[in-house]
Structure 1
Amino acid sequence: MTDARAGLTTTDDQGASPLRLPAFRRFLLAHLVSATGSAMAPVALAFAVIEQGGGARSLGIVLTANTVPALVLLLVGGVLADRVSRSRILFLGNLVAGAAQAVVAVLVATGAATTAAISLCACASGAAAAFTTPAAQGVVPRLVPPERLQQANALVRVPRNAVKVVGPVVGGFVVALTGPAWALGWDAVTFVVAALLLAGLRLAGAVSAGGPGAVSASGRGAGIVADLRVGWAGFRSRVWLWSFTLSGTAVVAAWLAGYQLLGPLVADRSYAGAGSWGLVQGAFAAGLLAGTFVCLLWKPQRLVLVAVVTSSGLFLPLAAMGLGLPLVWVLGAAFVAGAGMDVAIVAWSTVMQQQVPDEELGRLNAFNSLGEQIAIPVGYLLVAAASAYWSSGHILLVCSAVILAAGVANACVRDVRLLRRR
C-alpha cells in the first residue's frame, strides 16, 4: 500500500536507507545541482559589487534588498507551503531565482552593473526564497519514514556541503581570473536544472491537494489570516521554539553582517582578496561537511540544546578576523564554526519535523525563519553605518560577542535544556 507521501511506502521501505527511495534521491540530486552554483555565488556577488566601485555601503544595500522581500513574503510562503503543492512552489521559485541571477550575470559581463540594478535582481531572488524556504523545509518528512528523519536531513546536506568545500575556492579563483560574471551565470543555470528536478516530486499541500479553496487544519475557513492565526498559536505555545527563534534574531543578524558584509572587505584589505576569501568560505564548508558526518553517526537526545550550543561557534571566525589573526587561524575557526553549524541545522530540522505536525510545519518554519531573519537588514545597515566610524576589526568583535551572549542566554531556558528526541 502506498503512503500519501511521495516516494514512501508503508511496507519494507520504512526500515531502509533513505537513499533507496527514488523520490528522496531526486530531491538529493536537485540539492547537488543547485549547490554547485550557490557555492560560488556569494564570492561572485560580493566582488561584483566591489568591482563596480562599491564598498560596505553598496554591499549592505544589495544584501538588504535581497533580505527585505524574503521577510515581507515569508509568512505567505509558509501558508502556501501548507496548502498547495510544495513541488510546484519549489519549481517556480527556483525559476525566478535563476532568471534574476542570469540578469545579474549579463549586467556584470557587459559592464552595465550598478548597485541599483544588482539590488533589483537581489530583490527578486529574495522574493523567490520567501516561498521556497518553507516549502523545502517540509519536503523531507514527506519522503522518508519518521525514524529516518535525522539520517535523511544529514544526507540532504552531504552534497551541498561537499560542493561548498571546493565551490568557494574555485569561485574565488574564477572571480580573480575572469571576473564574477561566469560564476553568476553558472548559478543561474543550476537554479533552472534544480527547478526541473524538483517539479517531478509532485508533492501536494499538507492541508489539501485541492488548493486555496480547501479547509485549513484549524477547522475554520482557509483564509490566509485564519491560517496564520493558527500557526501563531502553535508557535507561541512552544517555548523551545520561540526562545530559539528569539536568540536566532541576534545570532543570524550578527553572523551575516559580520561574515557576509565585512568578511569580503576584510579579506580584500587585510589578506589576499577574493582568493583568500574563497579559502575561508571553503574552510567553513569543509566544517559543514564534517558536521554532516557527525550527524550520521551521533543521535543526541536533547536536540534543541545541541542546536543552541553548536550554533554559538559562529563567533569564532568573526573574532579571528576581528583580532587580525593570520589566515591559517581564520581558516581553523571557520572550519570549527562550520562543523557546529551543520550539527545545529540537522538537529533543528529533526526536532521541528518530530515535534510539529506536518499540516503546521510550513507556517511554523516560516515564523521561525522570519524571526531569525527580521533583524538582518538592520544588522547590515548598522554595520554599514558603523564602518564610517569604527574599524572593521572592532565591528567584527562586537558581532562575535553578540552571538556568544545570545547562545548562553538561550541555553538557560528550561524547555531548551529538557526537550528530548522522540
Structure 2
Amino acid sequence: MLTDFRLLAAGQTLSWIGNGFQTVALAVAVVSTGGGARDLGLVMACSVAFTLISSLFGGVWADRLQPQRVMVLADLTRLLAAAAMAVMFAAGGYHLALLCALAAVSSGAGSFFNPAMTALRPLIIPADRRQSANATLSMLQTGSSVVGPALGGLTVAGFGAPAGFGVNAASFLASMAACLLLRTRTVRGPRSSMLSELGAGWREISSRDWLLGGLLGATLYHVANGVILVLVQVTAIERLGGAPAAGFIAAAEGLGGLIGAAVALRFKPRRLLRAGWLTLLLMPLWALAYVWPAELVAVLLGAVIGWAGLIFFDVAWETALQDQIPQSALGRVASWDYLTSFLAMPIGNALAGPLSARFGTSPVLTVCAAVLFLAGASQLLIPGSRNLTRASETTAAPADLVETAV
C-alpha cells in the first residue's frame, strides 16, 4: 500500500507542477499572438463549464471502474490536449474555437480524474495513516502551486509558450505512468442507470448531517470567497504595491498552506472534523486584513494564518470522507463536493465587480468575511460535525473490497 501511495504522490506532484506551466503558457500564448482578455476569458469559461458538466459523471465512473483506470484515461486525454495546444501555438497562432475545445476537453478529463483519485486513496492508505497521507498530499500540492507557475514563467520566457504546454503534457505522461504501476484493485458491484447511481451518491450525502450541512455551508462559503478572491487582487495591485505585492501575497498564501499541512501531519485530534471547522474560522482574518489595517505586512500575516487554517480544514474534510463514506460510493460523493465548489466560485467572481461598484470594496470585503465566518461557525451547530470521530486506528479496508495484484 505504501508503495502505491509513493507512486501516487510522485505522479501527482509532477502533474501539479506541470499545471502551473500551462497556466502561464496559456495566458502568454493567447495575448502574445493577438488575443486579449475576451479570448482568454472565453477559454477559461469553457474550462469551467465543462468542469461543471463532467463532475457528476466522473464520480459515477470512478465508482464503476477501477479508479486508476479512470485516472489513466483522464491523464491520456489531458496529455493529448496539452500536446495539441503546444503544436498549435508552435505553428504561429491559434484557432479560438479549437483552443476552447481543447481547454474544455482537458478540464472535463480533470473532472473524471479527481473523483477517481479520491476513491483510490482509501484503497492505498491504511486508516491510521490517512490524515498524514492527506496532509502530505496537501503539502505537495501547495508547494507545487508555488513552484509550478514560477518555473513555468521562466520556461515560457526563455523558450516560448509551446514549451510550457509541452512540459505540462510530459507531466501528465508521468502521472499516467505512476497510475499504471499501482497494484491495488477493488471489487465493483453491478451497474445500474446513470441517474440511479447519481441518486445513490446523493443519498449517501443526505443521510449524514455533517456531510449535507458541510456541502451547503461550503456553497455559501465559496460564493463569498469568489467575491473576495477578485477584490483582494484588485486591492493588492491598486493599493498595496502592484504586481510585486501580489507576488508576495501569493507566496504568503503558499507558506500558510504548507504550515497548515505540516500541522495536520502532527496534530491528530480524535474529533478531527470539528478541529477543521474551527481552523477554517481563521480565513476571515485574511480578508479583513485588506480592510484594516490595509497594510502589506498585515495582509501577508493574515494570508499565512488564514491559509494555514484552510489547508488544515481541507485535510480534515478529506479524511472524514475517506473514513465515513463507503469506498463504493466515494467517487460520487466527491463529485458532488467538487460540483458545489465549481458552481459557487464563478458566481462569486461575477458578483465582485457589481457589488464593489455599488457598495465599495471595503464594505463588501467586510460582509464577505462575515459570511465566511458564519458558514464555518454554523457547522459547529450540527451534531455530526461536532462529534464525528476518526475511524479506529486499527481499521483497514475490508478484505472483500480490496485485493492486491500479484
TM-score class, shorter: 0.7 to 0.9
Aligned partner of 1:92 in structure 2 is: 73
Alpha-carbon deviations, 1:182-221, whole Å to 9, x = none?
Answer: 54543333123212222222554x552xxxxx515xxxxx
Partner of 2:282, secondary structure, is helix
**Residues 1:169 and 1:262: Cα distance change in structure 2 (over 3 Å):** farther
Match status 1:154 vs 2:135:
yes
- Counterpart selection for 1:413 from 382, 390, 394: 382
Cα drift, residue 152 of structure 1:
1.7
Show the 5 A alignment for 1:23-422.
Answer: 23-42=4-23, 54=36, 61-104=42-85, 112=93, 119-171=100-152, 182-201=163-182, 203-204=184-185, 206-208=186-188, 214-216=189-191, 222-259=192-229, 261-262=230-231, 264-270=233-239, 274-321=243-290, 325-383=294-352, 386=355, 395-422=364-391
User: Which runs of 5 or more structure 2 residues have no equivalent in the other structure?
Assistant: 392-406
Q: Which 10-residue stretch deviates more, 405-414 or 113-122?
A: 113-122
Q: Which 10-residue stretch deviates more, 245-254 or 269-278?
A: 269-278
Distance in 1, Cα, partners of 2:149 & 2:354: 28
Tell me how many residue pairs correspond in the alignment: 390
**Residues 1:90 and 1:257: Cα distance change in structure 2 (over 3 Å):** farther
Partner of 2:289, secondary structure, is helix
**Residues 1:304 and 1:281: Cα distance change in structure 2 (over 3 Å):** same
The amino acid across from 2:128 in the alignment is E
Q: Is the 8 A contact 1:170 1:278 kept in 2?
A: no
The amino acid across from 2:112 in the alignment is F
The amino acid across from 1:361 in the alignment is L
Distance in 1, Cα, partners of 2:281 & 2:27: 25
Q: Which 10-residue stretch deviates more, 384-393 or 329-338?
A: 384-393
Alpha-carbon deviations, 1:277-308, whole Å to 9, x = none?
Answer: 33322221221111121111111222222222
**Residues 1:295 and 1:37: Cα distance change in structure 2 (over 3 Å):** same
**Residues 1:123 and 1:116: Cα distance change in structure 2 (over 3 Å):** same
Partner of 1:233, secondary structure, is helix
**Residues 1:191 and 1:320: Cα distance change in structure 2 (over 3 Å):** farther
Distance in 1, Cα, partners of 2:266 & 2:302: 23
**Residues 1:273 and 1:114: Cα distance change in structure 2 (over 3 Å):** farther
Distance in 1, Cα, partners of 2:44 & 2:28: 13
Alpha-carbon deviations, 1:36-90, whole Å to 9, x = none?
Answer: 22345556656667776755x7766544432222222211111111110211211
Aligned partner of 1:18 in structure 2 is: none
The amino acid across from 1:288 in the alignment is G
Cα drift, residue 236 of structure 1:
0.6
Distance in 2, Cα, partners of 1:394 & 1:263: 13
Q: Is the 8 A contact 1:411 1:417 kept in 2?
A: yes
Distance in 2, Cα, partners of 1:369 & 1:284: 22
Q: Is the 8 A contact 2:4 2:183 kept in 1?
A: no
Q: Is the 8 A contact 2:226 2:344 kept in 1?
A: no
Partner of 1:325, secondary structure, is coil
Q: Is the 8 A contact 1:73 1:131 kept in 2?
A: yes
Distance in 1, Cα, partners of 2:362 & 2:41: 17
Q: Is the 8 A contact 1:171 1:278 kept in 2?
A: no
Distance in 2, Cα, partners of 1:328 & 1:49: 34
Cα drift, residue 113 of structure 1:
5.8
Cα drift, residue 170 of structure 1:
4.6
Distance in 2, Cα, partners of 1:311 & 1:330: 17
Distance in 1, Cα, partners of 2:253 & 2:324: 30
Distance in 1, Cα, partners of 2:97 & 2:364: 26
Cα drift, residue 175 of structure 1:
6.8
Q: Is the 8 A contact 2:17 2:147 kept in 1?
A: no
The amino acid across from 2:262 in the alignment is F
Cα drift, residue 378 of structure 1:
2.2
Cα drift, residue 25 of structure 1:
1.2
Root mean square deviation of aligned Cα: 3.3
Q: Which 10-residue stretch deviates more, 320-329 or 342-351?
A: 320-329
Distance in 2, Cα, partners of 1:333 & 1:36: 26
